[in-house]
Structure formats: C-alpha cells, structure tokens
C-alpha cells in the first residue's frame, strides 16, 4: 500500500508538470511565443510624437539574461509619463537560442509605449538572425516624425554579414530631409570591428550635418561624447535596472539616468 | 575528429556492451531532442543509456543533432502479467548540434578576441520520465520532461519561477529487441 501511494505520488507529480510544451530543439528557429514583425507593428502605433513639443525616448540595452532587472526597467518606464517610444539597443540575448528570444518577449511586450529593437552581436549568432527577422522584422529600418528620422542600424558585422550594410546607413542618413537620430548596438567608432572604408563611411555618417545623435550599447557603461556637434551616447546595460530617458525639445537634449542624474546637451541646429 | 566520426565511435562503444542487456529502438518527438529523433537505448537493470539523432529546422534548412541520455530508475514495478513499469526515471542528457556553420564549440578566430563567445553547440540538462511496457511485451511508451542547463542558470540568477521557456515534454515509442 505504501508503495502504491508512493507511485501514485510520482505519477501525480509528473502529471502536474505536464503543462510543459513540446519544444523541438534549442537550436531551431521555432518559438513558443506568437509575436511576429514587432518593429513593423509598433510603427503603426506611433502617433505624433512631437505633438507636445517634447520628444521622450526611453532607452535600454544589453539585457543578456538579466531578466529580473529588465522587468524592473519595464516597470519604471511604464510608470514614466508621456514616453513616446522605447528603444532597445541590442543584445537582448546571450547566445540567440530560441528560448532566450521567448524569455525576452515575455517582458518586452508588456511595455505600454511603442517599442523598437535593434539587433546586437549576441542576437545574431546561432539561429539569431532568423529569429530576429521572424520576431522583429528587418534588422535595418527607419521611421519618421514631424522633424526627425529615427534609424535603427544592424552593426553586427561579424555575426550577420548579410544584414550588415554601412552603405545602407549612409544612404538612409543622406537621403533624409529631416534631422537624424541613429540607434545601433556597436559603437560606429569601434576600432576592434570597423576599419578602412567601413570606418570612413561611419565617420561620414557621424559628421553628416543632419545627424544629431548616435546611440549605442555593447560596452555596458554610460558614456557621452561630442564629435563636431554630433552627440555620441552610449547607454549602460540593463543590469542594476539601468536605463535612460531622453527628452528632446528643440535643440536641447536632456539625458536622465536611472539614478536621476541629468545632463543637458545642445544638439545641432 | 569530425562530428560524424565521434558519433560512430560512440555507437561502437555501445555495441561492445554485453549482449545480455536489453536493447531498445526509440522514436521520439520534441523534448529538445529534435522535432523527431530516432535512436537506440541500452537497458541494464536500473540503468538506461540512449543515443539518438534528431532533426530540427533553422531558416528553412533541416539540421541534425545528436542526443545522449543516461537514466536511472529507482523502482522497477511488475504490473499485470509481469509487465514492467518504470514509474520514474531521472537522468541527465546532452545535446550537440551538427550544424558547424551556425553553432560552435570554440569561438571562431575571426572574432576580436579568443573566447569572444561561450560555446553554443553543446547543451546539457536534466530529465524526469515514466515509461510503461505495453501488453505485447514488444513495445513501450515513455513520457519525459526535460529542463535545459540555461534555464536552471537563468532561474537561479533571476529569482524567477517561470520554467515555461526552458522546459519541454517528450513522447517516445520504444521497440524492445
């Protein structure tokens, strides 16, 4: 009788865990979550982001597997008034496995404001390029507001050779009739990855009169530089619930860090 | 030694084991072993070792992975007409992708520094299962739940109780030779 009870308990335990889905392989590009083409979808949710004269952009980056910190950042962004959109600067995952994309989406889709993602180098290894395209859409894209073009650029040159196109970025900047803000993962002046003609193309992008601000992640720490009037802003990683709120009004940019520290920058006219 | 050669070597080791043990052929779905997988298992008393080849899809290509599992059954229960029921099997498993272009054991040399990325080709995990021999004594069915190492690490680091993305069910139909 004791044995029967023990066995019954075992069967019961297994049954209670049987909500586990039937997942094929961690190596595939199959996802449990159903969200698709999210960047494209979010574009249709954008209203007139400059209607009140202030553009507010929340920025986070390099989640990797810090899901608890990301939950905290999402919570804080959702409690911040009038955020026009949220930008993630890449490295949502550590190794681009399908379950990592699923886990990231679990938090990401709870953001209230429209939200956009740029691909990071860690998101493009393994099945990552296929997964990113499936979930978010093209890795190079832009959208516009009344006075700005927001460009999301795939800078993962070693991981996604097909998706990496400096010429695309230059064209997107030069063809714009509006001021430009660029969101990318790897800094365009990264000497480990970019040299020669590619480095020169990126210098041309940064020095373009229309380019106001270039944002990047990748290096995990906050850094603000100026190059000939173009602000180069590196966002800190999400670990420690770090994120940035950018408030742009006219030529004034206010960068508010997660701890409340605030820095004013004058952008190009 | 290439991946195919390693697999052949492992099969030869398994084939050299005592013939008095029981051999099974297994066809499975899901459970991280591939959308479908086929393999052989060697059962000796409370211990079982299974080697299988699984198929999965990436960017519309079909790729292969090899899977190795060791299981232990603390109880072996005779049921009706001396059939055997393994109420619970606990074990460890390893997965290995054959897609060398996409997954690697050593970070490729074209990245900026050695060890730029952690290896991605090999994944480990734990499993729990139950299997039941069918009345004809020739076939059995098994159900497994598997948890990946990445999930265990993420759950530990994040105080999260959400297992759903790191856990998978599997059903297996096994033929007893």
Task: Name the residue in chain A with its Cα closest to that of B53.
Answer: A25
Are A14 and B128 a contacting pair at CB < 8 A?
yes
Task: Delineate the domains of chain B, giving CATH numbers in brackets.
Answer: 25-176 (2.40.160)
Chain center to CA of B10? 14
- Nearest-angstrom CA–CA distance, A115 and A110: 10
Please provide residue A92's backbone torsions phi and psi, each rounded to the nearest 5 degrees. -70, -25
Q: Is the pLDDT of residue B7 over 50?
A: yes
Banded pLDDT at B23 (limits 50, 70, 90): confident
Q: What is the pLDDT of residues B42-80, one digit of tens each?
A: 988 889 999 999 999 999 999 999 999 999 999 887 766
Residues 6+ apart with CB under 8 A from B115: B107
- Nearest-angstrom CA–CA distance, A205 and A101: 31
Residue A195's SS3 state is: coil
- Interchain CB contact of B164 with A (< 8 Å): yes
User: In sequence order, what E strands does A72-207 have?
Assistant: 85-88, 115-117, 141-144, 148-153, 179-184
pLDDT value for B129: 92
Are B30 and A24 a contacting pair at CB < 8 A?
yes
- Mean pLDDT for B84-109 is 91
* Strand duo B84-97 + B77-78: pairing: antiparallel
pLDDT value for B14: 56
Q: Which of B54, B87, B171 has the CB atom closest to A10's CB atom?
A: B87
Are B32 and A24 a contacting pair at CB < 8 A?
yes
Chain center to CA of B82? 28
Residue B98 near residue B64, CB atoms below 8 Å: yes
Q: Which residues, given as ranges, of chain A have pLDDT below 50?
A: 1-2, 5
- Among A154-158, B82-86, B152-156, B163-167, the minimum mean pLDDT is found in B82-86
ipTM: 0.88
Q: B94 pairs with which residues across the strands?
A: B68, B124
pLDDT value for B80: 62
Are B35 and A25 a contacting pair at CB < 8 A?
yes
Q: Is the pLDDT of residue B18 over 50?
A: no
pLDDT value for B112: 87
- Nearest-angstrom CA–CA distance, A124 and A159: 6
- Mean pLDDT for B119-130 is 94
User: Which of A4, A17, A20 to probe the B interface (max B CBs under 10 A)?
Assistant: A20
- Among A24-33, A41-50, B91-100, B153-162, the minimum mean pLDDT is found in B153-162
Banded pLDDT at B19 (limits 50, 70, 90): very low
Are A99 and B150 a contacting pair at CB < 8 A?
yes
> Taking each helix axis from N to C terminus, what angle separates A98-108 and A128-136, rounded to the nearest 10 degrees?
30
Are B164 and A126 a contacting pair at CB < 8 A?
no
- Nearest-angstrom CA–CA distance, B30 and A22: 5
Q: Which of B29, B57, B95 has the CB atom closest to A26's CB atom?
A: B95
- Nearest-angstrom CA–CA distance, B129 and B143: 5
The burial class, CB within 10 Å (0-12 / 13-18 / 19+), for A166 is: buried
- Nearest-angstrom CA–CA distance, A243 and A237: 8
Work out the minimum CA distance from A193 to partner chain B, whole angstroms.
7
- Interchain CB contact of B166 with A (< 8 Å): yes
pLDDT value for A1: 41
The burial class, CB within 10 Å (0-12 / 13-18 / 19+), for B12 is: exposed
> Taking each helix axis from N to C terminus, what angle separates B149-158 and A67-78, rounded to the nearest 10 degrees?
50
Task: Delineate the domains of chain A, giving CATH numbers in brackets.
Answer: 51-266 (3.60.21.10)
pLDDT value for A20: 87
Q: Is the pLDDT of residue B149 over 80?
A: yes
CA geometry: angle at B124 spanning B122 and B129, to 5°? 140
B chain contacts of residue A15, beta-carbon cutoff 8 Å: none
- Interchain CB contact of B91 with A (< 8 Å): no
Residue A133's SS3 state is: helix
Are B57 and A28 a contacting pair at CB < 8 A?
yes
pLDDT value for A139: 97
């Amino acid at each position: 009788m004791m044995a029967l009870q023990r066995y019954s308990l075992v069967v019961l335990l297994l049954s209670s865990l049987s909500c586990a889905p039937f997942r094929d392989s961690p190596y595939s590009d199959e996802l449990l979550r159903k969200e698709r083409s999210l960047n494209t979808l979010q574009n249709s949710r954008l209203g007139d982001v400059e209607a009140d004269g202030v553009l507010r952009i929340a920025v986070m980056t390099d989640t990797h597997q810090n899901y608890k910190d990301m939950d905290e950042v999402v919570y804080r962004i959702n409690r911040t008034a009038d955020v026009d959109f949220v930008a993630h600067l890449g490295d949502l995952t550590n190794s681009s496995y399908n379950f990592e994309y699923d886990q990231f989406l679990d938090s990401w889709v709870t953001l209230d404001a429209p939200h956009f993602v740029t691909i990071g180098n860690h998101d493009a290894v393994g099945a990552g390029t296929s997964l990113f395209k499936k979930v978010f859409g093209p890795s190079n894209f832009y959208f516009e507001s009344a006075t700005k073009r927001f460009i999301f650029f795939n800078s993962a040159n070693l991981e996604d050779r097909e998706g990496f196109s400096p010429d695309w970025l230059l064209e997107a900047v030069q063809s714009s009739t509006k001021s430009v803000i660029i969101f990318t993962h790897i800094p365009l002046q990264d000497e480990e990855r970019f040299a020669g003609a590619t480095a020169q193309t990126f210098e041309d992008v940064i020095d373009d009169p229309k380019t106001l601000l270039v944002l990047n992640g990748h290096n995990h720490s906050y850094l603000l530089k100026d190059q000939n009037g173009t602000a180069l802003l590196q966002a800190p990683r999400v670990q420690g619930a770090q994120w940035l709120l950018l408030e742009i009004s006219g030529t004034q940019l206010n960068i508010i860090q997660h701890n409340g520290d605030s820095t004013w920058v004058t952008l190009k006219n | 030694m290439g991946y195919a050669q390693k697999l052949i070597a492992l099969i030869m080791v398994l084939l050299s084991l005592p013939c008095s043990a029981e051999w099974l052929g297994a066809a499975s779905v899901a459970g991280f072993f591939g959308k479908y997988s086929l393999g052989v298992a060697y059962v000796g008393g409370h211990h079982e070792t299974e080697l299988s080849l699984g198929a999965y899809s990436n960017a519309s290509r079909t790729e292969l992975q090899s899977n190795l599992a060791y299981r232990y059954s603390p109880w072996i229960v005779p049921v009706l007409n001396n059939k055997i029921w393994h109420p619970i099997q606990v074990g460890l498993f390893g997965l290995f992708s054959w897609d060398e272009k996409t997954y690697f054991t050593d970070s490729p040399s074209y990245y900026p520094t050695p060890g730029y990325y952690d290896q991605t080709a090999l994944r480990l995990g734990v499993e729990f299962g139950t299997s039941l021999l069918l009345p004809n004594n020739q076939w059995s069915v098994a159900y497994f739940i598997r948890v990946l190492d990445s999930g265990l690490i993420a759950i530990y680091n994040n105080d999260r109780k959400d297992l759903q993305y790191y856990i998978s069910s599997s059903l297996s139909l096994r033929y007893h030779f």
